[in-house]
Copies of this chain bind each other. A is one copy, B any other.
Amino acid sequence: MSDHPLRVAVLGGPGTYTDAAAGTFFGDSIQIIGKSDFDGIFEAVSTGQVERGIVPIENSLAGSIHRNYDLLLRHDLSIIGETQIHIAHQLIALPGVELADVKKVYSHPQPLAQCEQTLSNLLPEAEQISARDTVSSVKQLIEQNITDGAALASERAAQIYNLNIIKANMQDNSENYTRFVAISPEPVAPPADAKTSIVYSMDNLPGSLFKSLAVFALRDIDLTKIESRPLQGKRWQYFFYIDFLGSMAEERCQNALNHLQEITTFFKVLGSYPRGC
A residues within 8 Å of B by Cβ? 37, 39, 58-63, 66, 109, 112, 120, 127-130, 173, 175, 177, 179, 206-207, 209-211, 213-214, 216-217, 220, 222-230, 232-236, 277
Contact = CB atoms under 8 A, between A and B. Distances in A.
Copies in the complex: 2
Nearest to A36: B124
A250 to B, nearest CB: 16
A206 B224 CA distance: 9
A207 B222 CA distance: 6
A232 B175 contact: yes
A2 to B, nearest CB: 32
B66 A230 contact: no
Nearest to A127: B129
A233 B176 CA distance: 8
Nearest to A69: B63
Contacts of A109: 109, 130
Contacts of A210: 210, 213-214, 216-217, 223
Given A127-B130, A210-B223, 6 more contacts: A63-B228, A177-B235, A206-B222, A207-B217, A209-B226, A213-B213
Contacts of A207: 216-217, 220, 222-223
Contact of A129 (B129, B206, B211, B214): B129
Nearest to A105: B130
A206 B62 CA distance: 24
Given A206-B222, A210-B217, A222-B207, A232 B63 contact: no
